[in-house]
Amino acid sequence: MGAKVVVIGSGLGGLAAAATAQARGHQVTVLERNSWLGGKAAVLNLPSPDGRGNFRFDMGPTILTVPRVLRRIFAEAGRDQQKEMPLIRLDPQWRCFFDGSKQIDLIENVQDMARLMDEFAPGGPNGAGYERFQRVARHLHKVSEKFFFWKPVEGIGDTLNLGDNFKPNVLRDVMALRMGQTVAKVIRGHVPNEQLAQMLDHFTQYVGSSPYLAPAVLCSIGDMQASEGVWYPVGGTRATAEGLANLAASLGADLRTNAEVTDIEIVGGAVRSVTANGERIACDALISNMDAIRTYTELVKGNASKRYAKKYEPACSGVVLYLGLNRRYEHLAHHDFVFSRDAEEEFDAIYRKGEPAPDPTAYLAAPSGTDPSVAPEGGEALYVLVHTPYLRPHHDWSKMFPAYRQKILDKLKRTAGLEDIESRIVCESQLTPVDIHNRYKVLNGAIYGLASHGSFTGAFKPSNRSKAIKGLYLAGGAAHPGPGMPMVMMSGWIAADALDRDLGGRGMSPEAELAGRREAELPAAAE
């Protein structure tokens, strides 16, 4: 019999941790304060006023990359992820709309994408520059895999073996991280066309950060997307949460909803129990999928909370519109970006001034072409996300929202060819930063946990193995390796793996190790 493990929160990180720890032979209890499992990976159903069915929306994340993280979690239990939770590969990955009726698709194949860039901006070095950028991104992805992924990390010292630090190959890898450079600088050094650069900038939007402040290592996201694809879970993102929950439950985990943790008992610097709904639950180890900073400040408290509260900045928040439309727009892809007129102005407003962008970029998910079940026939369940600053004391979204909603709709009409969208809305709902803060217990409404800002250390987050409290482990977007669906699930796997190793568990199976490898590392790739 393994250890008694409690997981606080059933977001994707918490469910990944629960499934992995249970597969390793530990007895897991998941405590979720909400009435549903899955955290932000929730579903919203809005009835059509004409009685023709429902519009179904993924409420949170909608873009899945790096599917090997899921494959490894399922392989821990000897299960086949694609059979139990099938994924559909999407290409084009995004469709991009710019002012002036210009558009371009971001496609998976690097050479074909380079050709499209040269057609978009003839006579320039952009296509060849994109190919060079992807080579840089590929190497950064390789280095990230070696130093950052699949293990608990909080700083550069956690990534390096002191005995190896001065070996030439290690020094080359460290230099390749381009510490001191930002994502925006690396991109524009290869792709000078401002609109094409703006498209690539938005790899950093997976982590809710500004490309002008994010470290160059995050360029690796470009290769993750080009080499491993963009995927749609059959049934939507909600299917990912349900798949992980079903996996954990089938292995014997106890999954409880409406169970809010209000206290962690710490004795001699080690976790002993948690209290939920007045019940004290003893545990040998605790994995918190609650925001890492709020875990320390609201549950751990003491000196540890002071240290972490000062060290990190929240990532951005956002306004989400869920629009049930009586029309499907055929010119939209599954994923779309409607870009601002000026990237620097937009990011400066959100991340430096702390104010909503005057001309925002909008991300759209229009999934009916891939999955017709999301809307009545001929309709669309349109998801619209615009990033905003994390909550400031003077932000009153009850007053700010109506005008900003109109600004967003005007942007879609002007730039994305959705001129009649207002007349096509038959039902709608929304989330504001205040809603996000209250619904998900995140820091100041930050969707993506902690900002990845700082050209030297911006990639680092609180470690999955607490350095302050024995037996406390962290998962979720505000823990290493950070936000975005695959990284959040990886954080859960890392937390469970660290816990298992610390408690003398069985470790990772060879099947799971193989399932989580990059395709370039698989035996077939070397033949």
| pLDDT tens digits, 181-214 | 899 999 999 999 999 999 999 998 888 889 999 8
CA–CA separation, 116 and 119 (whole Å): 5
Confidence at residue 165, expressed as pLDDT on a 0 to 100 scale = 44
Closest CA to 257 of 282, 277, 284, 275: 277
Find how far residue 402's CA is from the centre of its chain: 27
Confidence at residue 455, expressed as pLDDT on a 0 to 100 scale = 58
Tell me: the pLDDT tens digits for 126-154?
A: 999 999 999 999 999 988 888 889 999 87
Confidence at residue 179, expressed as pLDDT on a 0 to 100 scale = 57
State how far the alpha carbon of 123 is from the alpha carbons of 110, 112, 118, in Å. 19, 17, 7
Confidence at residue 451, expressed as pLDDT on a 0 to 100 scale = 83
**Rounded (5°) CA angle 177-179-184:** 90
Mean pLDDT, range 240-262, rounded to an integer? 97
Confidence at residue 527, expressed as pLDDT on a 0 to 100 scale = 41
CA–CA separation, 462 and 481 (whole Å): 9
Mean pLDDT, range 383-403, rounded to an integer? 96
| DSSP secondary structure code for residue 389 in this structure | P
Tell me: the pLDDT tens digits for 347-363?
A: 999 999 999 999 999 99
Is pLDDT above 90 for 239?
yes
**Neighbour tally for 525: CB within 10 Å:** 10
Is pLDDT above 50 for 92?
yes
Tell me: the pLDDT tens digits for 268-314?
A: 999 999 999 999 999 999 999 999 888 998 999 877 666 766 678 88
Confidence at residue 143, expressed as pLDDT on a 0 to 100 scale = 86
Is pLDDT above 60 for 174?
no
HSE, side-chain direction, 13 A CA sphere, residue 255: 26
Query: Coil, strand, or helix at residue 132?
Result: helix
With contact defined as beta carbons under 8 Å apart, do 488 and 476 qualify? yes
State how far the alpha carbon of 54 is from the alpha carbons of 362, 369, 373, in Å. 24, 16, 9
Domain ranges of the chain: 4-46+66-88+235-312+457-526, 89-232+315-443
Mean pLDDT, range 226-236, rounded to an integer? 96
CB-count exposure of residue 233 (10 Å: 0-12, 13-18, 19+): buried
HSE, side-chain direction, 13 A CA sphere, residue 8: 31
Q: Which CATH number applies to 89-232+315-443?
A: 3.90.660
Closest CA to 462 of 295, 326, 323, 317: 295
The answer, yes or no, to whether the previous bond of 168 is cis (omega within 30 of 0) is no
Structural tokens at position 13? 């990180």
Reported for 80-85, long-range contacts at CB under 8 A and 24+ positions apart, including other chains, are 81/243, 84/243, 84/246, 84/247, 85/233, 85/234, 85/239, 85/240, 85/243
With contact defined as beta carbons under 8 Å apart, do 292 and 461 qualify? yes
DSSP per residue, 420-460: THHHHEEEEEEE-HHHHHHHH--GGG-TTSB----TTTTT-
Helix, strand, coil shares of the chain as percentages rounded to 5?
45, 20, 35
pLDDT band at 177 (very low <50, low <70, confident <90, very high): low
CA–CA separation, 189 and 191 (whole Å): 6
At a CB cut-off of 8 Å and minimum separation 6, what does 148 contact? 159, 217, 459, 480, 481
CB-count exposure of residue 368 (10 Å: 0-12, 13-18, 19+): buried
pLDDT band at 224 (very low <50, low <70, confident <90, very high): very high
Is pLDDT above 70 for 22?
yes
Q: Which strands, in side-by-side order, build the sheet including 64-65?
A: 64-65, 230-233, 87-90
Instruction: Classify each residue of 424-434 as buried b or exposed e, where b means 16 or more C-beta atoms within 10 Å of its C-beta.
Output: bebbeeebbbb
pLDDT band at 525 (very low <50, low <70, confident <90, very high): very low
The answer, yes or no, to whether the previous bond of 481 is cis (omega within 30 of 0) is yes
Tell me: the pLDDT tens digits for 459-472?
A: 788 999 999 999 99
Is pLDDT above 60 for 526?
no
CA-derived radius of gyration, the chain: 22
Q: Which CATH number applies to 4-46+66-88+235-312+457-526?
A: 3.50.50.60
174-178, 450-454, 500-504: the lowest-pLDDT one? 174-178
Is pLDDT above 60 for 391?
yes
Confidence at residue 453, expressed as pLDDT on a 0 to 100 scale = 81
Tokens 């002036």 appear where?
100
| Whole-structure pTM value | 0.92
The average confidence (pLDDT) of the chain is: 91
Is pLDDT above 60 for 171?
no
Closest CA to 247 of 502, 37, 457: 37
pLDDT band at 518 (very low <50, low <70, confident <90, very high): confident
pLDDT band at 458 (very low <50, low <70, confident <90, very high): low
pLDDT band at 457 (very low <50, low <70, confident <90, very high): low
CA–CA separation, 262 and 350 (whole Å): 33
Tokens 């469970």 appear where?
496
Q: Which strands, in side-by-side order, build the sheet including 270-276?
A: 261-267, 270-276, 279-282
Dihedral sign of CA atoms 384, 387, 391, 397 in order = negative
Confidence at residue 456, expressed as pLDDT on a 0 to 100 scale = 54
